Structure 1
Amino acid sequence: MRKRKEEMEGLEKMIEQYESRAEEDAKQIEESMVLARKEGFQEKEALKQEGVEEEKSILSEAMAKAGNKVQEAKKEIDAKVEEVRKELEAQVATFSAQLVEKILGRSIQ
């Protein structure tokens, strides 16, 4: 009887030890999962921020290219306006001379 009681007490102690170890393992697993979630969230946020920075960089580059194209177009338009202005000035002088000749009825050259 006594021997059986000792065996039972030994088994109960073993059961308690296993339960205690199982609880510790469960806590460690839970802590690991919490840490993994936290690290995953941080990685997700880092990737998100990296994406935002890349988007800003791409948009900035596109805006710079667009700005350059606008500047080139303005220069081209200004050059054409100047060219047309010179042509018109030359034509005005010719038309003015022709008009004076018609009014005077004679050549002014």
Structure 2
Amino acid sequence: MRQLPTSFSRFFSLRTSFEICKGWIFSKLRFVRLFASFGLLLFVAACANQPNVILKTANGDITFEIELADTPKSRADGLMFRNELAPNAGMLFDFQEEREVSFWMRNTFIPL
């Protein structure tokens, strides 16, 4: 078996170590980019569920921040257990169709 010169084997092992570290670093960066993209996607999705409604009046425009309750769970929870609500904020209950509904304001701590 032929042995390689010492300087060559030392270079080869350093280069291999560098390639391994470079691959490890790039895999970590790929994970960080993926995680950041997912966080941004969640942020955009959360913002998309709160439309602003603008009422045009003789005295000027009034903007309301509206939370949309469009799932059975969000409609059932409503404003329960909230201790505060922004001055121009509210909740819109979307039942997808015209029907008679009733509301029970149980555990609603804020004035309506």
Which TM class, normalised by the smaller chain length? 0.3 to 0.5
Q: Flag the structure with higher helix content.
A: 1
Q: Structure 1-normalised TM-score?
A: 0.46
Q: Flag the structure with higher strand content.
A: 2
Q: Structure 2-normalised TM-score?
A: 0.45
Q: State the structure with more CA Rg.
A: 1
Greater relative CO, 1 or 2 (CA 8 Å, sep 6+): 2
